Amino acid sequence: MDPRDTDANKIPFDSHLSLTADEVLTTTRAVRRRLDLTRPVPRELIEEAVKIAQQAPTGRNQQQWDFIFIEDPATKARVADIWRQGLQSRAPDEHGMAPMPTRMSFGSSEWGKIRDSLGHLFWRLHEVPVLMIPVVRVAHRAEMTSTRGQAHNWGSVIPATWSFMLAARERGLGTAWTVGHLQYEREMADVLGIPYDNVVQVALTPIAYTIGTDFKPARKADPVSHIHWNRW
């Protein structure tokens, strides 16, 4: 018998919202305002979601990703400070690139909603019960300079991270993908003891129970606008 095929590896199905797969896929929103800052998140729930994330595809089936969960209040405070610095930064990154310009119109109601929601989280990030940073292990950072190397590495951590977020949603937990702190990735690595040369950070998400669980599908463009048959 495969040693991995034991009862310890079976996922217990309780504390679920009993959403269908399509409901999970269409209602997992970036939760910022509706994070419950008062309710502790049990580690067991997080461990269940990680077990689900392990089923995501990875290049060469190597599962070279890790998730760093931060619950310690003093560490969260330092992490939140770097995150805030990153969000506010207009400084160029380590390659001399300015922060990504947004393609959204700043005057649009869509941007207005995100800005208000982000503003809400901005000063409260350290109060969120758990912060999570997904990372991918690389032989060396030069791997990230080619399209193929990037596709291999990002593609080996982002599906697992999204699976984690979907599994969290199914368990009543909210998450939000953020990348602002990566402007200060090295500083974050120092705070968390991450070996910078071989471990690349991907995102930072808050994790908390959501206030209410009634999230809705968002309005999107006609799917036809994303579909190309046979050629571009």
Which residues here bind ligand FMN, judged by CB under 6 A?
A: 29-30, 114, 118, 176-180, 218
Q: How far, in Å, CA of 218 to CA of 113, rounded?
A: 13
Retrieve residue 212's tokens.
């209410």
Report the candidate in 211, 170, 174, 130 with the shortest Cα–Cα distance to residue 48: 170
Nearer to ligand FMN, 10 or 216 (CB): 216
Q: Is 94 exposed, middle or buried (0-12, 13-18, 19+ CB in 10 A)?
A: exposed
Smallest separation, CB 180 to ligand FMN (Å): 4
H helices of 96-171, where? 109-122, 147-154, 158-170
Q: How far, in Å, CA of 16 to CA of 231, rounded?
A: 42
Smallest separation, CB 204 to ligand FMN (Å): 8
Nearer to ligand FMN, 157 or 176 (CB): 176
Nearer to ligand FMN, 57 or 217 (CB): 217
Nearer to ligand FMN, 42 or 144 (CB): 144
Smallest separation, CB 32 to ligand FMN (Å): 6
Nearer to ligand FMN, 118 or 144 (CB): 118
Contact between residue 207 and residue 177 where contact means Cβ atoms under 8 Å apart: no
Size (the chain), residues: 232
Smallest separation, CB 82 to ligand FMN (Å): 13
Q: Which residue is nearest to ligand FMN (CB)?
A: 29
Q: How far, in Å, CA of 43 to CA of 41, rounded?
A: 6
Smallest separation, CB 177 to ligand FMN (Å): 4
Q: How far, in Å, CA of 34 to CA of 162, rounded?
A: 19
Smallest separation, CB 14 to ligand FMN (Å): 27
Nearer to ligand FMN, 177 or 196 (CB): 177
